[in-house]
Structure 1
Amino acid sequence: MAGFHVPGAPPAMIVMKFGGTSVADAPRIRTVVRLARERLDRRPVVVVSALAGVTNLLIDLAHRALKGATGVQEIRDRHRAVLEDLGLPPDLVAEEVDDLRSLLKGITLVGELTPRSLDCIMSFGERLSSKVVAAAFRAEGLEARACNAYDIGLVTDDRFGSANPLESCYEGLGRNLAKVEGIPVVTGFIGRDRRGNITTLGRGGSDYSASIVGRAVGAEEIQIWTDVDGVMSADPKLCPKARSLEVLSFAEASELAYYGAKVVHPSTMIPAIVAQIPVRVLNTYRPEHPGTVILAKAPPARGGVKSIACRSRLSLITVTSTRMLMQTGFMARIFEVLGRHEVVIDMVATSEVTVSLTTDTRRDLEPALAELREIAEVEVEKNHAIVCLVGEGIRATGGTLASVFETLREARIRPRMVSFAASNVNVSILVPERSVARAVKTLHARFFE
């Protein structure tokens, strides 16, 4: 299903999403205005995140409210300062700040912070930034309107903190955006459920919002503006010689996002894939750089590997029981326990009497582990990491896997587990966390330098 098109409307549209660092202060917001002005012929829809650091501050304020503190001075002063630097009235966001204060007082009175309340509090970051950015457009002579996504049709399920759009929302959302005079400046990250409660799409969800909006309006391209030159061949913090990639497939980009590449939110791919809309990752500070375009299909890399990502702070859980021998359903029971406790699994390896799997150490695993110990022996080893090599057809590229294992052997890194994805897009290797930086560097040197 492609995006929704309003009959008679010009087909060419782009979605330009700007993250928190791109709208962090007045000079950067002026850059956003300039970038959109230069693309007026492509009918931009702008999607914005909260100002850098504001979402974390809002979460902090919500927890402070439980202890009786309901001040909003930090939020107010931050936005007033940006407005003043833009030459705009500092009381432009006074109504939103007052609404936030009232909500925090309510939390103090009730003495409870529910996921629904927290979503509502977090939404103020984008609600404030969209008003500031839209006003900055108007100050530069461009017609623009701040649009709260939940007011123009972005309807989600009621999974507070990680909501997903309803399939039925796209047509109405596209129609409403087509009616906006000038440039719509849409709140990223937020929507509403069928009851009208504000929801959030998960941390980093403004990318997701941009993709949802792109599908709704039938955009020709979804642009994710960041502070790096597109998607890189590895984390530049680990590999100074990492380089920007020209093109990725949706499958490759989704794998990279899941395994730790911080440029694109994993869910961003879903609406774009459905509508077959290219996603381009660009650098706000180097707009002349072509960045990385993400397409439904992309040519394979010469050496089989497009990029290397990693995820740290993982636990290796080993479940052992002789009851697994010749007994159907035992493994299903293990995964039923893990699923009920919402433990997300990254890698799995099995033998006759053992199942080994990895998961994020940061979540509370004890309830699930206690239940597993009722049916089997359970061993937990922390401080592991996954190194993921991504590329379409990676297993079919001659010599790639041999090069991987030879490189790790030469670096004296002993893999604990290896997983070959059924999709033939990635190879994942579990290593000790202390070795992850060395593994990424040596593998990058082998395939890219």
Structure 2
Amino acid sequence: MPKIVVKFGGSNLKSKSDVRRVVNVIKNYDEPLVVVVSAFYGVTNYLIESLEKARQNEKVAGEVGRYLYQLKKEALEEHPIASELLERVETDIRNLLDELENYLQGIALTGDASPALEDLILAFGERLSAVFLQGVLEGYGLDAQYASPEEIGLVTDGEFGSASIDFQKATTPVREALSGNRIYVVPGFYGVSDEGKVTLLGRGGSDYSAAALARCIGASSLDIWKDVDGFLSADPKLVDGPVRIERLAYAEAAELAYFGAKILHPRTVEPLVDPHIPIRVFNIYGDMDVEKPLSIVNSDQTIREGVVKSVTYSDDFGVLKLKGPGVGLKPGILARVTTALHLAGINISSVITSQISINILLAKKDLRNAYAVVSAEELPAVSELLVIEKISVIAAVGDGLIDNYGIAARIFSSMASKGINVVMSCSGASPVVSYFLVNCDDRSKAVRAVHQEFFEPKSIQV
């Protein structure tokens, strides 16, 4: 019988009582699992800050070790762990922290860290969580084994910071390593290159690593435990009474994640589409019934009345605008720009063109670098190069968006009725999403306007 892969994020590990909930959830499955765990809440940010501080201060290494050891020690003491087991787990944690301190001390001596060393250091949050959780589960009488990506052969393409799993190399060793009749606890967020170097899977990449493991072992499902009631029709912080979405297709979930919905990492869906492994989303603060997911993501397509299933937003994008008479029709301009950005390691999210402008949607953090890169090309057809930062992207997602007439018109009308100007829009790039750029000051009002148009008059039907 295929195992289930169960993933717990940092939002499930905010307090001492949260760990008890995690243990209870695992017990409720009453079967062998592969459990993927993130760093404790806030620890990855702490490691990022500590890495920077270590470049100037040699005392940081010791401070980090003491803080994290005390954090884990206090958490361990909340659980009924026999003294011999407790001593072993504390020793394992101490050994990991000694290793971490040595790396931070090395940075203090040299004043610098390679991308490989940065990845190695930032993976310690997940490694510590997995060692901790394995010990706690064993203390509660469960047959649990720590299984690191290094040990199980979770091989990546070797790219530091944002690696991808190499399934041709990883599938067989991972499947064999996790085939036992027990619970395996795996640290998320990273894999290893062919040379055995730690490579991160991108910020928030524990979801992606859990999905990769699910694919490798042929899991019956990937179960993700959150602190919210599954996928919703909009951010509950922005709208009153958002509607829960019980079923989404893979493409819908991927677009929602890409355009800002925090429930999944954008790459989570990627490994699961071909093997048709469903994602089941639960709320750890609910009744913890493992047979009653709040949302299911799979290959089934469902079109609701009104078509739009969810409205999301992202403040993480900006636009690089190339202006000039005929620039959109001039042969070779776009090719030169995209090649230059590719060589600079800058990802292009979308391109919207007209005769007099080329608009390139980029991550906001890349805008200034992209401006410098494109400026250096000295393109004669470009009379003006602009950076537009103060925008938000509003995305309406749902199967049938492109095939049902009038949806875009309703979105435009809903925003116009609230006095919101749409700076730019795009439909058709994906059959399940239309997105609109608005001034960042209008973001919340825009989400509420679209949600009111499609959801507030009647309840969702899927």
Q: Is residue 433 of structure 1 aligned with residue 436 of structure 2?
A: no
* Contact preservation (8 Å) 1:314, 1:383: no
Q: Secondary structure at 1:129's aligned position in 2?
A: helix
Partner of residue 34, structure 1: 24
Partner of residue 443, structure 1: 450
Partner of residue 21, structure 1: 11
Q: Is residue 275 of structure 1 aligned with residue 275 of structure 2?
A: yes
Cα 1:331–1:78 shift into 2, 3 Å: same
**Unaligned runs of at least 5 residues, structure 2:** 457-462
Please report how far the alpha carbon of residue 270 of structure 1 lies from its aligned counterpart in structure 2 after TM superposition: 1.0
* Contact preservation (8 Å) 2:11, 2:227: yes
Partner of residue 6, structure 1: none
* Identical residues among aligned pairs (%): 33
Which residue of the other structure, out of 61, 67, 77, is the alignment partner of 1:74? 67
Which residue of the other structure, out of 380, 395, 404, is the alignment partner of 2:411? 404
CA distance in structure 1 between the partners assigned to 2:388 and 2:179 by the alignment: 53
Tell me which amino acid in the other structure corresponds to 2:360: L
Partner of residue 423, structure 2: 416
* Contact preservation (8 Å) 1:313, 1:382: no
Partner of residue 4, structure 1: none
Q: Is residue 381 of structure 1 aligned with residue 382 of structure 2?
A: no
Tell me which amino acid in the other structure corresponds to 1:253: A
Tell me which amino acid in the other structure corresponds to 2:364: T
* Contact preservation (8 Å) 1:313, 1:433: no
Tell me which amino acid in the other structure corresponds to 1:70: A
After superposing the two structures, state which structure 1 stretch, 350-359 or 146-155, moved more: 350-359
CA distance in structure 1 between the partners assigned to 2:293 and 2:187 by the alignment: 26
* Contact preservation (8 Å) 1:313, 1:383: no
Q: What RMSD in Å do the two structures reach over aligned CA positions? A: 1.8
Please report how far the alpha carbon of residue 372 of structure 1 lies from its aligned counterpart in structure 2 after TM superposition: 4.8
Q: Is residue 257 of structure 1 aligned with residue 262 of structure 2?
A: no
Q: Secondary structure at 1:308's aligned position in 2?
A: strand
Partner of residue 186, structure 2: 186
Please report how far the alpha carbon of residue 325 of structure 1 lies from its aligned counterpart in structure 2 after TM superposition: 7.3
Q: Is residue 245 of structure 1 aligned with residue 240 of structure 2?
A: no
* Contact preservation (8 Å) 1:30, 1:136: no
Please report how far the alpha carbon of residue 349 of structure 1 lies from its aligned counterpart in structure 2 after TM superposition: 2.3
CA distance in structure 1 between the partners assigned to 2:140 and 2:261 by the alignment: 35
Partner of residue 460, structure 2: none
Please report how far the alpha carbon of residue 274 of structure 1 lies from its aligned counterpart in structure 2 after TM superposition: 2.4
Normalising by structure 1, report the TM-score: 0.93
Q: Secondary structure at 2:434's aligned position in 1?
A: strand
Q: Secondary structure at 1:271's aligned position in 2?
A: helix
Tell me which amino acid in the other structure corresponds to 2:21: T
Partner of residue 61, structure 1: 50
After superposing the two structures, state which structure 1 stretch, 63-72 or 187-196, moved more: 63-72
Partner of residue 3, structure 1: none
Cα 1:440–1:216 shift into 2, 3 Å: same
Please report how far the alpha carbon of residue 316 of structure 1 lies from its aligned counterpart in structure 2 after TM superposition: 2.7
Partner of residue 44, structure 1: 33
Tell me which amino acid in the other structure corresponds to 1:368: V
Q: Secondary structure at 1:275's aligned position in 2?
A: coil
Q: Secondary structure at 2:421's aligned position in 1?
A: coil
**Unaligned runs of at least 5 residues, structure 1:** 1-10
Partner of residue 173, structure 1: 174
CA distance in structure 1 between the partners assigned to 2:41 and 2:329 by the alignment: 55
CA distance in structure 2 between the partners assigned to 1:435 and 1:317 by the alignment: 20
CA distance in structure 2 between the partners assigned to 1:132 and 1:441 by the alignment: 42
CA distance in structure 2 between the partners assigned to 1:305 and 1:336 by the alignment: 35
Tell me which amino acid in the other structure corresponds to 1:79: K
CA distance in structure 2 between the partners assigned to 1:314 and 1:100 by the alignment: 34
Tell me which amino acid in the other structure corresponds to 1:252: E
Q: Secondary structure at 1:38's aligned position in 2?
A: helix
Please report how far the alpha carbon of residue 373 of structure 1 lies from its aligned counterpart in structure 2 after TM superposition: 4.9
Deviations 1:224-272 (A, max 9, x none): 1111111111111111321221010000000000000001011111111
Match runs of 1:118-267 below 5 Å: 118-167=118-167, 168-179=169-180, 182-267=182-267
CA distance in structure 2 between the partners assigned to 1:50 and 1:381 by the alignment: 35
Q: Secondary structure at 1:290's aligned position in 2?
A: coil
Deviations 1:91-115 (A, max 9, x none): 2411111111111112222321111
Tell me which amino acid in the other structure corresponds to 1:78: L
* Contact preservation (8 Å) 2:328, 2:358: no
Q: Secondary structure at 2:349's aligned position in 1?
A: coil
* Contact preservation (8 Å) 1:348, 1:419: no
CA distance in structure 1 between the partners assigned to 2:244 and 2:255 by the alignment: 17
CA distance in structure 1 between the partners assigned to 2:443 and 2:391 by the alignment: 8
Deviations 1:388-439 (A, max 9, x none): 0001111222432221111111011111111013331111111111101000
* Contact preservation (8 Å) 2:337, 2:374: no
CA distance in structure 2 between the partners assigned to 1:22 and 1:247 by the alignment: 23
Normalising by structure 2, report the TM-score: 0.90
After superposing the two structures, state which structure 1 stretch, 184-193 or 353-362, moved more: 353-362
Partner of residue 356, structure 1: 359
Aligned residues: 437
CA distance in structure 2 between the partners assigned to 1:95 and 1:379 by the alignment: 51
Please report how far the alpha carbon of residue 328 of structure 1 lies from its aligned counterpart in structure 2 after TM superposition: 2.0
CA distance in structure 2 between the partners assigned to 1:319 and 1:27 by the alignment: 53
Please report how far the alpha carbon of residue 141 of structure 1 lies from its aligned counterpart in structure 2 after TM superposition: 0.9
* Contact preservation (8 Å) 1:315, 1:359: yes
